[in-house]
Structure 1
Amino acid sequence: MWLINPRSSIEDLGKISFWKALAAEFIGTGFLVFVGCGAAVTSAPSQGTDAFVTRVALTFGLTVATMVWCICGVSGGHINPAVTVAFLVTRKISLIRGLLYMAFQCSGAVAGAALLFAVSTTEIAGGGFGCNGIRAKDGTTFIVTGTQAVLIEALITFVLIFTVFATCDSKRGDLKGSGPLQIGIAVLICHLAVIPLTGSSMNPARSLGPAVIRGDQCWNDHHVYWIGPMIGGAVAGLMYDLIFAADSSLRKLGDCLSGDDYDAEDDRDNDTKRAGRV
């Protein structure tokens, strides 16, 4: 299959830096859930108010920025399966790296939720516990339909992944400032917009962690928080990399779709060599 590069996948397993990257993804995602959902559970009495939305949005946005800043030099700072899928479909990482990143992100999210549960009071732990959902408190009245929720999650994840790819575009010379902060701002604005509708997950691992620990109604409509972000992330990654990236071209698109051993870095190196001969 065009997506699989067996050589690079196997080589990943033998590198110490690869296992450090997995540990970084575990820790980064764990603290994202612990801190972000911590803001949600401690704001439970005012849930649904502007103060609640603002507090939770700021916490998630700034936590993402902080964690990406801390680990981006080790793992790239994905801390989100949707980000990893986008990098996988654009062939910037190997299949093994992508699958293990997602496994460690999800396990880190569960660990973060478990830590939050361990330090929470019975009253807090018995509440919503930061779970995402599209139903009102009665469990039956839907705030938005399932289809609408999937579309919302896909769109806000598109914003996030589009920002990530723009930030990581090394060929652009017009970008200034902090890349992690720009990514955190993307998370912040999307949370401000749709927390009252879907809870603004834009990260399947973030939704999985509290659901595993809390259970009960946290599993209601859980598929929404995988389908939407994964689709939105993949579309955003492909669209930016193959159409809007500074080195995008029809030849790059053809190589990516047809080459069994396509490597984006090699492709950029060849572009540089060709430019030097002109």
Structure 2
Amino acid sequence: MDMTKRFLAEFVGTFWLVFGGCGSAVLAASFPDVGIGLLGVALAFGLTVLTMAYALGHVSGGHFNPAVTIGLSVGGRFPSKDIPGYVAAQVLGAIIAAGLLYLIASGQSEYSLATNGMAANGYGSASPGGYNLMSGLLIEVVLTAGFLLVILGATDARAPTGFGPLAIGLALTLIHLISIPVTNTSVNPARSTGPALIVGGIALQQLWLFWLAPIVGAAIAGLAYRFIAGDMGKAN
């Protein structure tokens, strides 16, 4: 597939993930009487990946996440030379999604960026449950590693065909159910970058963790799956 089309697919897919996932948290999670809550936000993130994986996965592979791109490269599924272009497209999609979401949210008279935020990730005082740096680091590494193992296994040529996006979307839903109270759930550096640039302050200061931890977790999973499953040269 033409590289421009692949980059565009990654841009659109990541835009959809951030706009849909973070949008559910910012616009719908605490809506009076009918707020969707933690379960709804977790499901929204899973649905964004599931739907775009089916829609555009055949174009670019459906990464929509710099950690996924790097983890697949470590696992032997993606050429390292294409990492910069994919990551740039993903981050740009996330930034534009966050900016558009802010414009929509600020159209509500009671919305306050300082009070309502943009579903930014954080630890310590920025953690929804007050979890510290170590807790945030560990959960982001572990859950990103688990996410990559699901992606690598579900897209292995030996796995049942056609069900990969479903498994990946459900895995991301599960991840959010576990870790929203800890870090607001990243496992995706692009997803963290878009809202952090809008919110600024502590969200921007803590952004380094949400690049470091997901990439470390993804790299661990890439190596682990390669060891456990053997041949990594094929994907369905």
TM over 0.5: yes
What are the ranges of 5 or more consecutive residues in structure 1 without an aligned counterpart? 1-15, 249-263, 269-278
Aligned runs of 1:189-204 on 2, under 5 Å? 189-204=174-189
Query: Residues of 1 paired with 2:48 and 2:111: CA distance?
Result: 21
Q: Name the aligned partner's letter for residue 133 of structure 1.
A: G
Residues 140, 190 of structure 1: alpha-carbon distance in 2 compared, 3 angstrom cutoff = closer
1:92-171 alignment, distance < 5 Å? 92-121=77-106, 123-124=110-111, 126=113, 127-136=116-125, 143-171=130-158
Q: 1:135 to 1:52 in 2, by over 3 A?
A: farther
Residues 260-275 of structure 1 aligned to structure 2 (within 5 Å): 264=233
Tell me the alpha carbon deviations over residues 156-199 of structure 1, each in whole angstroms, 9 at most, x when there is no partner: 11111000000111034xx3652101000000011001111111
Q: Summarize the Cα distance change of 1:203–1:92 in structure 2 as closer, same or farther, 3 Å threshold.
A: same
Does the C-alpha gap of structure 1 residues 98 and 156 become closer, same or farther in structure 2, counting only changes over 3 Å?
Answer: same
Alignment match, 1:90: 75
Are the counterparts in 1 of residues 6 and 60 from structure 2 also a CA contact under 8 Å? yes
User: Which has the greater radius of gyration?
Assistant: 1
1:38 has 2:27 as partner: no
The gaps in structure 2 that reach 5 residues or longer are none
Q: How many residues align?
A: 229
Task: Supply the AA of the counterpart residue of 1:200.
Answer: T
Matched to 2:82, the amino acid is R
- Are the aligned partners of 2:42 and 2:174 in contact in 1 as well (CA < 8 Å)? yes
Q: Residue 222 of structure 1 aligns to a residue in which SS?
A: coil
Structure 1 runs, 4 residues or longer, greater than 4 Å off: 139-142
Q: Report whether the alignment pairs 1:210 with 2:199.
A: no
C-alpha RMSD of the superposition: 2.4
Please point out which of 52, 74, 85 is paired with 1:67: 52
Q: Which residue of 2 aligns with 1:239?
A: 224
In the TM superposition, what whole-angstrom CA distance separates every residue of 1:174-228 from its partner, at most 9, and x where no partner exists? x365210100000001100111111111101000011112223322422221111
Say whether the 8 Å CA contact 2:66–2:87 is kept in structure 1. yes
Distance 1:150 1:96 in 2: 28
Deviation by residue 1:15-39 (Cα, 9 ceiling, x = unmatched): x611100000001001111111111
Shift, 1:142, TM fit: 7.7
The 1:211–1:83 alpha-carbon spacing in structure 2 relative to 1, beyond 3 Å, is: same
